[in-house]
């Protein structure tokens, strides 16, 4: 399991699996399954940001939601402060929600259009015992100021805000209960590039102010490089590379990581870099290829790749990858 820090991690994921059954026939029996997340393990230390990158459909969001038990896992374990959360009763899970939150991708669809900002941000406070309306309003006003909005926004509704402002409201809702761990599920991908920078800097400021820990899910490698301490690269339900952020961008080991980095647009158009285009389409997660799942698109593919799955091993200190030809 990737972990280079000797201290106890805040979050530990062990062999997490999430399959979605596909049913068919007269009796609606399970005929196949979508292997969204397949045997994933990693740790996240207190106060760090772990970036999770990969193409659309590789299982990133499902993994984030499974960690929070917004999706029930097929197998595997998740530990938060060494407490297994997989078998917790609903009431215990409700109490745990104070410490684990999520920021969704689309700030418009994730906010109730029928509720005002004060109701949206104040709802978690109400659910967790803050009955006084005036007390909730006071806390909401303080949180809004923290995320760059004002008290005058409290009585407005989501449609009256821009995309960047709506995402700030989503962030305010996530930090209202003063959590320790937040899953940022493509939190800036729906925003304009100029607004992305503002929101990312806000997330970094909040992390420093409240000692937050992030799982930052994104397909934008430059955003992940800027905000993350360590990065996990995911392909078709599996993590194929895991390393310190600077190390991974400086010296990627896995062919898939190299291809992702080479295809990522550079801010400077005059910068020339070697491209490693990926051929073919991503295989179906219903019937993933045998052996290494990337072998159908890999330029280094040899016979062993289609017959045997490579081990996920440490090639350099803190730098893990699953490939036979590194």
CB of 60 within 8 A of CB of 54? yes
Give the C-alpha separation, 264 to 153, whole Å.
Answer: 37
pLDDT of 43 reads 96
Give me the pLDDT at residue 60, please: 95
At residue 17, φ and ψ (nearest 5 deg) are -130, 135
21 forms bridges with which residues in the sheet? 33
For residue 273, what pLDDT is reported? Answer: 58
Question: What domains appear along the chain, each with residue ranges and CATH number?
Answer: 11-23+32-99+177-321 (3.40.50.300)
Secondary structure class of 29 (helix, strand, coil): strand
In whole angstroms, what separates CA 71 from the centre of its chain?
14
Q: Tell me the Cα Rg of the chain.
A: 21
What pLDDT, on the 0 to 100 scale, is given for residue 270?
55
Coil/strand/helix, residue 191 = coil
What pLDDT is attached to residue 25?
82
Q: What is the dihedral of CA 192, 64, 257, 239, to 10 degrees?
A: 180
* Tens of each residue's pLDDT in the chain, 326 residues: 565 555 789 999 999 999 999 998 888 888 899 999 999 999 999 999 999 999 888 999 999 999 999 999 999 999 999 999 988 898 898 889 899 999 998 878 889 999 999 999 999 999 988 889 999 999 999 999 999 999 999 999 999 999 899 999 999 999 999 999 999 999 888 788 888 999 999 999 999 999 999 999 998 888 999 999 999 999 999 999 999 999 999 999 999 999 988 877 665 555 555 666 677 778 899 999 999 999 999 988 899 999 999 999 999 999 999 999 98
Farthest-apart Cα atoms in the chain, separation = 68
């Amino acid at each position: 399991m990737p972990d280079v820090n000797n201290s106890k991690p805040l979050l530990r994921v062990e062999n997490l699996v999430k399959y979605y059954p596909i049913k068919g026939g007269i009796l609606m029996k399970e005929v196949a399954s979508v292997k969204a997340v397949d045997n994933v393990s990693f740790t996240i230390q207190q106060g760090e940001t772990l970036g999770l990158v990969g193409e659309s459909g590789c299982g990133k969001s499902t993994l984030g939601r499974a960690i929070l038990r917004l999706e029930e896992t097929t197998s595997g374990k998740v530990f938060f402060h060494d407490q297994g959360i997989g078998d917790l009763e609903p009431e215990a899970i409700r109490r745990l929600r104070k410490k684990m939150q999520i920021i969704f991708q689309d700030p418009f669809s994730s906010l109730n259009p029928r509720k005002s900002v004060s109701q949206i941000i104040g709802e978690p406070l109400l659910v967790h015992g803050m009955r006084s309306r005036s007390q909730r309003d006071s806390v909401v006003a303080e949180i809004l100021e923290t995320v760059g909005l004002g008290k005058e926004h409290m009585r407005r509704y989501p449609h009256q805000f821009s995309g960047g402002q709506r995402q700030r409201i989503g962030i305010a809702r996530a930090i209202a209960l003063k959590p320790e761990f937040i899953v940022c599920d493509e939190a800036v991908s729906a925003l304009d590039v100029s607004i992305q920078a503002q929101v990312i800097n806000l997330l970094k400021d909040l992390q420093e102010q409240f000692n937050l820990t992030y799982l930052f899910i994104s397909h934008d490698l430059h955003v992940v490089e800027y905000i993350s301490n360590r990065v996990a690269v995911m392909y078709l339900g599996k993590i194929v590379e895991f390393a310190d952020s600077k190390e991974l961008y400086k010296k990627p080991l896995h062919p898939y990581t190299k291809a992702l980095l080479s295809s990522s647009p550079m801010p400077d158009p005059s910068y020339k870099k070697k491209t490693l285009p990926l051929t073919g389409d991503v295989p179906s997660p219903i019937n993933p290829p045998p052996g290494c799942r990337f072998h159908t698109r890999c330029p280094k593919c040899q016979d062993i790749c289609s017959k045997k799955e490579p081990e996920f091993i440490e090639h350099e200190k803190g730098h893990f990858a699953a490939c036979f030809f590194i």
